[in-house]
């Protein structure tokens, strides 16, 4: 392809440049569906719709695991002590400062809902383990407290809180 440097672009040069450009546009347009097809398909997206979880069977101090969009979600019915532990913390001492209030819903402070995926490299932490009795990741030793906040170990951030809301006092909708 000749892209003439000087000012005397001939008609032939223009034709070559035009043809080459159209070919390049065509190649790019053809590549798009070949790559875009890897995104989640319609049935996967539809299956990722919000789920409802009944909290009634979860007893005091119990944590259950449910799945939403293929991710494990911990729903923890925290004891008074666990809530107090989470709230009586010097924020400045946290690697990723967040209050427990920010991580729970008003009026439902005993309920902690977090995505059970360690923010280090994606393992599933174990509930009610570790020195803060919150979550402990067995892969590389990250320790989370009863609010799911990172306290020590290689994980950079707190366990994320998924989008959810209380449909009633004993039922939440995740997603």
Q: Does 41 bind another protein (CB under 8 A)?
A: yes
Q: Which of residues 42, 91, 93, 106 is near another protein by CB under 8 A?
A: 42
Q: What phi and psi values does residue 109 have, to the nearest 5 degrees?
A: -65, -20
| Buried residues in 132-161 as b, exposed as e (16+ CB within 10 A) | bbbbbbeeeebbbbbbbbbbebebeebbeb
Q: Does 22 bind another protein (CB under 8 A)?
A: yes
Q: Does 23 bind another protein (CB under 8 A)?
A: yes
Which window, 26-34, 78-86, 102-110, 144-152, contacts another protein (CB under 8 A)? Answer: 26-34
Which window, 19-27, 71-79, 99-107, 141-149, contacts another protein (CB under 8 A)? Answer: 19-27
Q: What distances in angstroms separate CA 106 from CA 66, 99, 101, 112, one per listed residue?
A: 22, 12, 7, 11
Between 57 and 76, how does the x/- string for binding to another protein read (CB under 8 A)? x-------------------
Q: Does 24 bind another protein (CB under 8 A)?
A: no
Instruction: Please say if 128 is a catalytic residue.
Output: no
Strand order in 143-144's β-sheet?
126-129, 134-136, 143-144, 150-152
Q: Which of residues 36, 59, 90, 93 is near another protein by CB under 8 A?
A: 36
Which window, 46-54, 92-100, 134-142, 164-172, contacts another protein (CB under 8 A)? Answer: 46-54
DSSP output for 104-137: S-TT-TTEEEEE-S-TTTS--PEEEETTTTEEE-
Q: Which residues are catalytic?
A: 140
């Amino acid at each position: 392809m000749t892209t003439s440097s000087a000012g005397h672009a001939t008609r032939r040069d223009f034709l070559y440049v035009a043809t080459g450009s159209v070919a390049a546009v065509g190649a790019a347009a053809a590549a798009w569906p070949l790559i875009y097809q890897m995104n989640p398909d319609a049935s996967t997206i539809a299956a990722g719709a919000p789920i409802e979880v009944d909290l009634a069977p979860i007893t005091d101090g119990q944590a259950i695991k449910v799945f939403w969009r293929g991710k494990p979600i911990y729903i923890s019915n925290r004891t008074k002590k666990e809530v107090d532990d989470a709230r009586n913390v010097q924020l400045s001492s946290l690697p990723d400062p967040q209050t427990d209030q920010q991580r729970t819903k008003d009026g439902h402070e005993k309920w902690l809902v977090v995505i059970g995926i360690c923010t280090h490299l994606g393992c599933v932490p174990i509930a009610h383990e570790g020195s803060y009795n919150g979550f402990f990741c067995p892969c590389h030793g990250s320790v989370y407290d009863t609010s799911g906040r990172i306290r020590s170990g290689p994980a950079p951030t707190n366990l994320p809180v998924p989008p959810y809301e209380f449909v009633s006092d004993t039922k939440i909708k995740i997603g």
